[in-house]
Amino acid sequence: MAMFLNLSLLGPPQMSLNEQSVTHFHFDRVRALLFYLVVEASTVHDRTALTYLLWPDLPAQSGLQNLRQALAALRRVLRENQNKTPFLEVTAKTISFNSQAAFFLDYAAFNEHLEIVRRHHHRRLGACPVCMKRLQDAVDLYRGEFLANFGVESAPFEEWMMIKRERAHLQVLEALSELTDHHLRCHNPAKAIALAQRQLALDSLIDVGHHQLMQALVANDRRNAALIHYERYRKLLSKELGVSPPRKTLDLYKQIAGNTWQDVTPMPPHNLPSSIVPFIGYEAELTYIAERLATSDSRLLTLTGPGGSGKTSLALQAAWMETPHFKDGVFFVNLNQAKPGQLQEIIASTLPIPLAERVVMPSHPWAWLRSRELLLVLDHFDNLIGQASFLLRLLQLAPNLSILVTSREWLKLRGETVLMVRGLDCPVEADVEQVEQFSAVRFFIECARRLAPDFSLDTPADRQAAIQLCRLSGGLPLALQLAASWINIFSLPQIVLQINRNLDFLTSPIHNLPQQQRSMIAVFLSAWRQLSPQEQQAFCRLSVFPSGFTVEAAQVIARAAPSVLLVLQTKSLLHNVIPEKQRQSHLTTGQSGRFEIPELFRRFGVENLQQHSNLAPKMQYMRHSRYYLDLLHRQIERFASGEESHFLAAIRIELENIRQAWQWVINQQDFPRIAQAQSDLVRFYTAVGEYEEATRIFDQAMESLAAAGLQNTSPRPTEPN
């Protein structure tokens, strides 16, 4: 069986094996041997060296005999004879801990967190939320000094233990100081107080801890407590060391006592508009943005996505979160109405550039940025893509400037980091009982309750309709908001029905929405006009895919070259399919090799395809049907030859396309293909045991043929036995 060893050595040592506490060590030297081996797991240890470590005063042979006995006892405690992957690697001359075994060591995790922080390329440690989180994780592991209350009568072991203890002690104090300073800068004095007090609990004489605690107390409106603490600190230093507090802390005391203290970390300036509605969802995206803006190698970050995907709201929420982390401010620039040639003027008028510098260099005020640590948020950059190179000039001029852009189209600049904003996370059929856990549903409910305060998803029909609405909208906040505007006229199932009948239904009279966002038709037309005729035709042909598709399928069916797919992707009309395991985060760690069109936009594409005979819509659907039914048949043949896993995976991923292809041949009454596809589908559904699904699609086929008066031309599929 597999054993899992959990060792906590930061504090009084604790040990568990498969979650069962282990305390039955007969000798401390057996424990000491384990602790040393696991902490020094990267080293193979000579038996003679281990003997000297634990029994330095014994003759060599006696020491080796003791080591053999201790090793045997340790192996019994670790139940090595039952462990699939032993913890110890033992030879005649050496002993080591197996780093491939299943174990957790708090000391190793503590050091790993700190090492990652040390190596991280952040812009500034205090402005890096990723590193602050790791520092917090590290100090949370520190229960107390290394191997507290433990020792053996061996000078070499005690020396090793004291070196590790002192190093960990200094490391945790440094981490706590950084965290305290971070929370002071973020104007979170309560948290800063707790962290400073923890520093002093570990070292009552550490100057920085006392200074930070006084700052945190006065920032928390506890002026008298800060003054009292200074007096205690002064007396402690006098008693223990015969010295006075350092000048810096004395000056702080005088400022507090004289009511002249001012926060040394005032909130940086900003011009961010306050939101009138709560921000919902996009947790993973916010984390990603914070991580990227904290680094020195992601200074240009573009949030791109289809119209209505919530790019502006996300950028503003991220900007609010970043206000403590940019010393010279965070500034929001609305470029929605900007015309080409106005970019520099609008940015310059937004920044708090002193009048004197504007007068001295009216045409080039950008020197003011050179020494500033600042975040610039440029919203609605779509119409100014041709001026994107100016942003590179700003970044080259100002090494501490970061720029966050929202645009439906990538800037296509070297050094640009692109985050696709796809929409809120949506439930699927299996989530019907937990629909309100998904941000798309929560957002819709919030919008609906602003108009109908008692709205809720009480019935199964409502919850099912919520899933359908999310699928139709693709989680686009604008589409959900437009749908919610009808909640006092229609029930939720009726709203879904209306959207399915007519996409023009997604329209709203809300006055404070930009004109191009008052209907989803307007959003689509705005994106449509940015495409060349060739790209428009390719988009319409690609809309025949009801779900994801590969580059090969796009080329064969829609005659869309990879270069066209790339253009559509950069303009947010096409994106990579998110693997199922990542679907709630909307962030991918790699390319899936599949693409899809946002559902509402796909439906607009289908409407355009049907309206333009020159695009040969019937030919597109015929190509689609033949391609996927041929793919189904090939995979069935592979299944017959024994390649079951490949067969199942290849068909499952294309099942939506295969269902549409099947329905097409039914509608076209293509009986030879119906017969072949029927046989292939029966074999597939039999293999996977999905008999209800098989019955459903075959019954639908029979109904379609019956409606055409052809119910007797094809036998009813035999149900799998």
Residue 464: count of CB within 10 angstroms of its CB: 17
Is 592's pLDDT higher than 70? no
> Strands of 94-97's sheet, edge to edge?
45-46, 94-97, 88-90
Domains of the chain, earliest start first: 1-186 (1.10.10.10), 283-354+369-420 (3.40.50.300), 429-523 (no CATH), 530-615 (1.10.10.10), 628-707 (no CATH)
**Distance between terminal CA atoms of the chain?**
40
Is 647's pLDDT higher than 80? no
488: burial class by Cβ within 10 Å (0-12, 13-18, 19+)? exposed
Averaged pLDDT for residues 386-408: 91
Give the residue, 406 or 642, on which the prediction is more confident.
406
Q: At 593, which amino acid appears? A: G
Q: Report the run of H or E that residue 6 belongs to, with start and end.
A: strand 5-8
Lowest-pLDDT range of 192-196, 198-202, 472-476, 641-645:
641-645
Give the residue, 512 or 558, on which the prediction is more confident.
558
Averaged pLDDT for residues 494-508: 87
**Residue 429 DSSP class:** G
Averaged pLDDT for residues 10-33: 88
Is 510's pLDDT higher than 50? yes
Helix (H, G, I), strand (E, B) or coil at 334: strand
| Mean per-residue pLDDT over the chain, rounded | 87
Give the residue, 264 or 128, on which the prediction is more confident.
128
Rounded distance between C-alpha atoms, residue 594 and residue 574, angstroms: 10
Give the residue, 647 or 169, on which the prediction is more confident.
169
pLDDT class of 641 with cuts at 50, 70, 90: low
pLDDT class of 27 with cuts at 50, 70, 90: confident
Is 337's pLDDT higher than 90? no
Is 515's pLDDT higher than 70? no
Q: What is the DSSP string of 360-382?
A: HSTT-GGGGGTT--EEEEEE--G
Averaged pLDDT for residues 285-308: 90
Tokens representing 11 are 């504090």
Q: What is the pLDDT of residue 713?
A: 45
- Using the Cα atoms of residue 530, residue 535, residue 541 and residue 544 in order, give the sign of their dihedral: negative
Lowest-pLDDT range of 304-318, 381-395, 677-691:
677-691
Q: What is the pLDDT of residue 646?
A: 67
CA distances from 632 to 114, 121, 659, 683 (A): 52, 49, 11, 11
Q: Which residues pair with 18 in a beta bridge?
A: none
Q: What is the pLDDT of residue 316?
A: 95
- Structure confidence by residue, pLDDT tens digits, 408-421: 999 989 889 999 99
- Structure confidence by residue, pLDDT tens digits, 92-127: 999 999 988 999 999 999 999 999 999 988 888 888
Tokens representing 685 are 């559904």
Q: What is the pLDDT of residue 556?
A: 93
Q: What is the pLDDT of residue 229?
A: 92
The beta strand positions in 496-586, using DSSP E, are 575-576
Rounded distance between C-alpha atoms, residue 44 and residue 98, angstroms: 10
Lowest-pLDDT range of 181-185, 508-512, 598-602:
508-512
- Structure confidence by residue, pLDDT tens digits, 162-177: 999 999 999 999 999 9
Give the residue, 690 or 374, on which the prediction is more confident.
374
Averaged pLDDT for residues 500-520: 75
Lowest-pLDDT range of 287-301, 348-362, 609-623:
348-362
Is 591's pLDDT higher than 80? no
Q: At 80, which amino acid appears? A: E
Q: What is the pLDDT of residue 118?
A: 93
Tokens representing 72 are 């045997």
Q: What is the pLDDT of residue 721?
A: 41
Question: Pairing mode, if any, of strands 14-17 and 20-21?
Answer: antiparallel
- Structure confidence by residue, pLDDT tens digits, 176-227: 999 999 999 888 899 999 999 999 999 999 999 999 999 999 988 898 999 9
Highest mean pLDDT among 118-122, 199-203, 305-309, 526-530: 199-203
Residue pair 301/289 in contact (Cβ under 8 Å)? The answer is: yes
Q: What is the pLDDT of residue 715?
A: 41
418: burial class by Cβ within 10 Å (0-12, 13-18, 19+)? middle
Q: What is the pLDDT of residue 667?
A: 85
Is 135's pLDDT higher than 70? yes
Look-up of token digits 């989530």: 431
pLDDT class of 644 with cuts at 50, 70, 90: low
**Residue 242 DSSP class:** S
Rounded distance between C-alpha atoms, residue 701 and residue 711, angstroms: 10
Rounded distance between C-alpha atoms, residue 703 and residue 666, angstroms: 10
pLDDT class of 359 with cuts at 50, 70, 90: low
| Prediction pTM value | 0.78
pLDDT class of 645 with cuts at 50, 70, 90: low
pLDDT class of 589 with cuts at 50, 70, 90: very low
Q: What percent of the chain has pLDDT over 70?
A: 92
Question: Pairing mode, if any, of strands 45-46 and 88-90?
Answer: unpaired
Give the residue, 46 or 707, on which the prediction is more confident.
46
Is 720's pLDDT higher than 70? no
Look-up of token digits 């504007």: 358
Tell me the longest C-alpha to C-alpha distance in the chain: 106
Question: Which alpha helices (DSSP H) does 188-269 contain, by range?
Answer: 189-202, 207-219, 223-240, 247-257
Residue pair 486/495 in contact (Cβ under 8 Å)? The answer is: yes
Is 581's pLDDT higher than 50? no
Is 563's pLDDT higher than 70? yes
- Structure confidence by residue, pLDDT tens digits, 221-246: 898 999 999 999 999 999 989 999 99
